[in-house]
């Protein structure tokens, strides 16, 4: 059953310079879609059009049988409450402790006065605690978010998104700032949580190896157009090379890129024994 329809979606920030050039596809309930493509392809713009963090230029998005383009005020807030978001740079409140950051996932579903005063129910606090327990952060619940590592902050971000009990989870480059070990942990957590809750997820990634491991479906975007839409198994090296042509280094995490660069340098520099 379709949960999101993308109909000729276009977006330009500057006139006559489109970022998205007409995306057309449907997202079915329970799918884990990973959108791949190089920087500037339009991946983040697409994700942010879905929850109207960015206004589309033309076309339409229909989420949960409701047109997104015309939503404002209470109707927009109601729609956003159904969509969880995980950000590349975490978007936590650094001076606020971990459990309060998780509880902020309820903000779109409770009256403003209650949220401003931090008047969460015992059930909500229990749910936040259980989420943090699931991701291994119980001992950090009273720490300020700014005192956590990047991987820990992203786990808090996952809990905050899940605290919404969303119908759709969006994740915008959630592992781009992490080391390989933390990236693996974060991807495992997201995968397991959406499977357990039968959620639909749309995630942007540069890292094709992670996309092929976790996604049920991969969409490749290049220069604002869909150039691949299919299963991970059918994504060929030829297609990957076409999508990332000239930007192949972006497919690796920062630590992996540095490691490869070090290997290349070490290959060029002879050891003391070789030099003698």
Q: State the residue range of the domain holding 28.
A: 1-82+170-177+203-269
Domain boundary among 112, 142, 165: 165
**54 is a domain residue:** yes
Q: Are 230 and 239 in contact (CB under 8 A)?
A: no
Per-residue pLDDT averaged across 65-91, rounded? Answer: 93
Distance of alpha carbon 149 from alpha carbon 7, whole angstroms: 40
CA triple 2-76-115, angle to 5 deg: 115
Residue 255's contacts (CB-CB under 8 Å, 6 or more residues apart) are 179, 180
114 shares its domain with 129: yes
Distance of alpha carbon 111 from alpha carbon 92, whole angstroms: 21
Q: Which of 237, 177, 166 is nearest to 205 (CA)?
A: 177
**16 is a domain residue:** yes
pLDDT digits (tens, 9 = 90+) for 126-184: 999 999 999 999 999 999 999 999 999 999 999 999 999 999 999 999 999 899 999 99
11 shares its domain with 76: yes
**pLDDT over threshold 70, residue 111:** no
Q: What is the pLDDT of residue 249?
A: 87
Residue 255 — very low, low, confident or very high, per pLDDT cuts 50/70/90?
low
210 shares its domain with 77: yes
Q: What is the pLDDT of residue 116?
A: 62
Q: What is the pLDDT of residue 16?
A: 87
Q: Are 185 and 152 in contact (CB under 8 A)?
A: no
**185 is a domain residue:** no
Q: What is the pLDDT of residue 112?
A: 63
Domain boundary among 165, 192, 220: 165
Looking at the chain, the whole-number percentage of residues with pLDDT higher than 70 is 88
Cβ atoms within 10 Å, residue 184: 16
Residue labelled with tokens 């109707």: 75
Q: Which of 35, 61, 24 is nearest to 170 (CA)?
A: 35
115 shares its domain with 141: yes
Q: What is the pLDDT of residue 72?
A: 93
Q: Hey, what's the torsion of the CAs at 60, 176, 137, 259, to 10 degrees? A: 160
> Which tokens go with 172?
């915008």
**pLDDT over threshold 60, residue 257:** no
Residue 272 — very low, low, confident or very high, per pLDDT cuts 50/70/90?
very low
Q: What is the pLDDT of residue 256?
A: 55
CATH number at residue 216: 3.40.50.300
pLDDT digits (tens, 9 = 90+) for 87-99: 999 999 999 999 9
**pLDDT over threshold 80, residue 114:** no
Cβ atoms within 10 Å, residue 105: 24
Per-residue pLDDT averaged across 27-49, rounded? Answer: 96
**27 is a domain residue:** yes
Q: Hey, what's the torsion of the CAs at 161, 164, 166, 170, to 10 degrees? A: -20
161 shares its domain with 136: yes
CA triple 45-173-176, angle to 5 deg: 135
68 shares its domain with 119: no
Q: Are 140 and 148 in contact (CB under 8 A)?
A: yes
Q: What is the pLDDT of residue 258?
A: 44
Domain boundary among 116, 136, 165: 165
99 shares its domain with 135: yes
**Average pLDDT over the chain, rounded to an integer:** 89
75 shares its domain with 6: yes
Per-residue pLDDT averaged across 210-217, rounded? Answer: 96
**109 is a domain residue:** yes
Q: How many domains is the chain partitioned into structurally?
A: 2
60 shares its domain with 126: no
76 shares its domain with 89: no
Of 65 and 276, the one with more pLDDT: 65
**197 is a domain residue:** no
Residue 127 main-chain phi, psi, to 5 deg: -65, -40
67 shares its domain with 114: no
211 shares its domain with 76: yes
**106 is a domain residue:** yes
213-216 contact pairs (CB < 8 A, 24+) = 213/187, 214/32, 214/34, 214/187, 214/190, 215/32, 215/33, 215/34, 216/31, 216/32, 216/33
**45 is a domain residue:** yes
pLDDT digits (tens, 9 = 90+) for 51-63: 999 999 999 999 9
């Amino acid at each position: 059953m379709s949960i999101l329809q993308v109909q000729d979606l276009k977006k330009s920030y500057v006139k006559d310079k489109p970022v998205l050039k007409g995306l057309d596809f449907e997202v079915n309930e329970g799918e884990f879609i990973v959108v791949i493509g190089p920087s500037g392809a339009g991946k983040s713009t697409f994700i942010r059009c879905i929850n109207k963090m960015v206004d589309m230029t033309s076309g339409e998005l229909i989420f949960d049988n409701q047109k997104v383009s015309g939503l404002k005020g209470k109707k927009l807030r109601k729609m956003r409450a159904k969509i969880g978001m995980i950000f590349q740079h975490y978007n936590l409140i650094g001076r606020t402790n971990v459990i309060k950051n998780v509880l902020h996932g309820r903000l779109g579903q409770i009256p403003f006065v209650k949220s401003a005063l931090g008047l969460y129910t015992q059930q909500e606090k229990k749910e936040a605690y259980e989420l943090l327990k699931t991701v291994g952060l119980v001992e950090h619940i009273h720490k300020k978010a700014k005192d956590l590592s990047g991987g820990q902050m992203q786990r808090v971000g996952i809990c905050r998104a899940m605290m919404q009990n969303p119908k759709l989870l969006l994740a915008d480059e959630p592992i781009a700032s992490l080391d390989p070990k933390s990236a693996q942990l974060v991807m495992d957590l997201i995968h397991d949580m959406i499977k357990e809750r039968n959620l639909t997820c749309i995630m942007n990634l540069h890292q094709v190896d992670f996309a092929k491991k976790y996604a049920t479906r991969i969409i490749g975007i290049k220069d604002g157009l869909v150039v691949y839409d299919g299963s991970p198994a059918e994504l060929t090296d030829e297609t990957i090379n076409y999508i990332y042509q000239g930007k192949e280094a972006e497919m690796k995490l920062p630590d992996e890129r540095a490691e490869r660069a070090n290997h290349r340098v070490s290959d060029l520099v002879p050891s003391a024994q070789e030099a003698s």
